[in-house]
Chain A
Amino acid sequence: MGSEINRRDALKRAMAVGLVAIPSASVLTACATSSGGDKNKPVATGTKSAANPLGVKNGAPLEAFVFKGGFGDDYIKSAEAVYNSTYGTTVKHTGTQAIGPKLQPRFANNTPPDFMDNSGADNLDTAALAKEGKLLDLTPLLNAPTIDDPSKKVSDVLIAGTVQQGQFGSQAMYALNYAFTVYGSWYSNKLFKEKGWTYPQTFDEAIALGAKAKAAGIALFTYPGKYPYYVHFDMFAQFGKVGGKDVLNAIDDLEDGALQVDAVKQVVQYYEELAAKKLFLAGSEGKTHIQMQTDWTKYKAALVADGSWVENEAAPTMPKDFDLAVGPLVGGGPSDKLPFGTVYAAAGEPFIVAANGKNPAGGMELLRIMLSKKQTDNFTNTIKSLTCVQGAADGLTLTPGLASASAALKAAGDNVLNARIQDWYVKLNNETIGNLTAQLLTGQINAAKWIEQAQKACDATKKDSSVPKFKHV
């Protein structure tokens, strides 16, 4: 809303106060939702050129509203600085948490910020936003030349899977997932060396290792009960390792009976056994992720299922000689569809540009800047995480965890899995199935019950017309 109080504003105010006397429903509606009003608000456009392929207007304001979580927001500010000096403006920057409740009314009001990092525990449902047409299709960005080498298109330099990760059932890419995360079981190389352990390749080996560790007073696993879906980072990918990508895709697509297959059974039974043998650190079910990481860096547990952000997040308590490493997915053995070495990795940290913002071109341009070598290097160096740009870690000195993650990714080759259920059906994965997993790991339910209930939950989601559905293309 402009600072200038014009006649229309004054009228609106008078109206709103007048409503008190006669709460007429129809007037209220008008007041509530037509306020987005300015449907034909000017969109800043400039002339396109080689240096400005997206046609950003010089001096046009740009608003960035970004999630300030594990990665902080300095890496975005660094890209904004470049934007500011190139386009003679100052990006209005808000770094914050609890993105959802803050952004939703702005979307409904048709006054969203131009550029957003829609991440964190309280983010908006990116899938729902895409379905509602609130997000800009970033295809022009994909087709634009990169900053470092004008002969290459942006889409050419992205790690495979990044584009798909931003698609929601169509060819349009609505989100650019900037950080590339390698998931897996993370451990301390130092601890493993000291105790003479080797990272397990199969369920049996893991259970044997668990017994050994238990004898040494160390739990095999710990997990954050506050966010039980952390366990899914391993578990769902293991469904794919044992049964092949099709099993995972069928689950993502909510196919009937997708969970009632042998691969799933084998994996879930493994977790049932871990629980029965008490190989999870006592009290895990009530911990936050920070408490879990602290126990783990104090060598109370050998393994945690986590993403590569753990190196940054657990840094305050991680001993200097911890020698962080990530292991590939543990599986059933040689009969698995995919070999040992398969990893779960996916682009995360979804950056979105509003479809009806004031400066969509500027939003895309800021992303283009973030994808330049200078910015990705900065991100990898300071955040200790990979970006979605190919070879972005080349020529950098990597920290132990990051080096291990990028080696695992390289070794995996094509055997990289990605469970889309985690971002397509957030509630189903995190809360509904998460609750079942929490019960499985505390031995309250067995594998058969988990599968039965989880399938039921998937079926219910499938039937629920209010949940937008997506399919692998």
Chain B
Amino acid sequence: MRHGKYRFIIGFLAIPLALYGTLVISPFVQDFQISLTDWTGLTPDKHYIGFDNYRKIIHDHLFWQSLWHNVLLLLIVPIVTLAFGLFFAFMLNVGGRRKGSASVAGVRGSGFYKIVFFFPQVLSVTVIAILWQQIYNPDPEEGVLNVILKDVGLGSLTQSWLGDPKLALACIMAVMVWANVGFYVVLFSAGMSSIPTEIYEAALLDGAKRFTTFFKVTLPLLSDTVATGWVYMGIIAMDAFAFVQLMSVNNGGPNEKTDVVPLLLYKTAFRDNSQYGLAAAMGVAMLVVTLLFAVLTLRLSRRERIEF
């Protein structure tokens, strides 16, 4: 029996671990090694230079600024996305007019909403970036957003959007939220619809308002799903690379106000004199930050609490 157990464990872990080790772990270990060299990425030659690259990063204000942007993304994008997701899911499932004796009901057309909201999820980032580039067109007469603002009498609010250092990062965040809310609406409303209506009815009969029921009943019951969503969204926010690269002006601009570490790393590794060693060091530094986030999230999530 014991022997069989270990054979079984090894048998089940062998392939996943082999794949993972070869294709994920080993490149990362190599990256750590590379971060200690002056490798350009263009030749097989490299020289070990100790921790010079890390020293360089510590003194690079652009790195810290980019990392700060990552932190902002990591804090704001998941919170807003999940909040919107929960809000809409709640609206869809509980916001409806009661029918007959049922005390809670979904709004009419909730199926339709769930389909529409999900749309951006099936689009690739490239597509989303191009679409929004047109929407954010700063031209007062052609920019879609500016024209809409004007038409509703808010002409004074027209902006140059991605061209404005104060707004650019927020504009990109908005697109990330836009692209991801739909998935969480579907995910959360699936969760909500499996909460037995009797629970709601009991709460409502107790005189609780619907918003109270949301915080007292819905949210606690969904906490696991929310935690999972949080982790998944965190991964997306941390790697805002494609969004920023495709949408920002001047590759992380204006004035480096939208630069994020993955983009900085990409520029350093592939373009700016091919300083692959330096880029690798940035990657390692970023990994440390992300791991901190991951550990924190895991500690906070209920599923893991069973574990620790």
Q: Give me the interface of A with B, judged by CB distance under 8 Å.
A: 16-17, 19-21, 23, 25, 28-29, 31-34, 36, 100-101, 104-105, 107-108, 110, 122-125, 127-129, 132-134, 225-228, 282-288, 291, 294-295, 300, 426-427, 430-431, 434-435, 438-439, 442, 444, 466-468
For residue B21, CB closer than 8 A to chain A, the reply is: yes
Find chain B residues with CB under 8 A from A284 CB: 138, 160, 163
Pick the residue among A23, A134, A291, A427 that contacts B26 (CB under 8 A).
A23
Is A108 within 8 A of B44, CB to CB? yes
Find chain B residues with CB under 8 A from A466 CB: 38, 273, 275, 278
Is B25 within 8 A of A17, CB to CB? no
Pick the residue among A124, A287, A430 that contacts B163 (CB under 8 A).
A287
Given known A128-B274, A287-B137, contact A108–B26 (CB-CB < 8 A): no
Is A100 within 8 A of B270, CB to CB? yes
Interface size grouping (class) on chain B: 35 or more
A287 to chain B, nearest CB (A): 6
Residue of A nearest to B256 (CB): A435
22 A–B contacts from the bound complex (CB under 8 Å): A23-B21, A23-B26, A28-B30, A32-B30, A100-B270, A104-B274, A110-B44, A124-B42, A128-B40, A129-B42, A132-B40, A282-B160, A285-B164, A286-B163, A286-B164, A287-B137, A287-B138, A291-B139, A291-B142, A431-B251, A438-B253, A468-B273
Is A19 within 8 A of B21, CB to CB? yes
What are the 7 tightest A-B residue pairs by CB atom distance, in nearest-first order? Answer: A286-B163, A20-B21, A283-B138, A285-B163, A286-B138, A286-B160, A226-B249
Q: Give me the interface of B with A, judged by CB distance under 8 Å.
A: 17-18, 20-22, 25-26, 29-30, 33, 38, 40-44, 46, 133, 136-140, 142-143, 146, 160-165, 248-256, 266-267, 269-275, 278
Pick the residue among A125, A283, A288, A431 that contacts B160 (CB under 8 A).
A283
Pick the residue among B18, B161, B255 that contacts A286 (CB under 8 A).
B161
Residue of B nearest to A427 (CB): B272
Bound-state Cα–Cα, A108 to B20, Å: 24
Is B33 within 8 A of A295, CB to CB? no
Bound-state Cα–Cα, A287 to B133, Å: 9
Bound-state Cα–Cα, A466 to B275, Å: 7
Is B273 within 8 A of A23, CB to CB? no
The DSSP consensus for interface residues of chain B is loop
Is B42 within 8 A of A128, CB to CB? yes
Find chain A residues with CB under 8 A from B161 CB: 286
B139 to chain A, nearest CB (A): 5
Given known A34-B44, A438-B250, A438-B255, contact A427–B271 (CB-CB < 8 A): yes
Is B26 within 8 A of A28, CB to CB? yes
Is B25 within 8 A of A20, CB to CB? yes
Is A108 within 8 A of B42, CB to CB? yes
Question: Given contacts A20-B26, A127-B273, A285-B163, could you give 7 more A-B pairs where the C-beta distance is less than 8 Å?
Answer: A29-B33, A104-B274, A225-B160, A286-B160, A286-B161, A286-B162, A431-B267
Given known A134-B43, A285-B164, A286-B160, contact A23–B29 (CB-CB < 8 A): yes
Residue of B nearest to A428 (CB): B272
With most chain B CB atoms within 10 A of its CB, the pick from A17, A108, A133, A438 is: A108
Bound-state Cα–Cα, A21 to B165, Å: 49
Pick the residue among B248, B270, B275 that contacts A122 (CB under 8 A).
B270
Pick the residue among B44, B160, B250, B270 that contacts A36 (CB under 8 A).
B44
Bound-state Cα–Cα, A228 to B143, Å: 19
Find chain B residues with CB under 8 A from A294 CB: 142
Given known A23-B21, A107-B42, A128-B274, contact A227–B136 (CB-CB < 8 A): no
Bound-state Cα–Cα, A287 to B43, Å: 38
Given known A122-B271, A129-B42, A466-B278, contact A19–B26 (CB-CB < 8 A): yes
Is B274 within 8 A of A124, CB to CB? yes
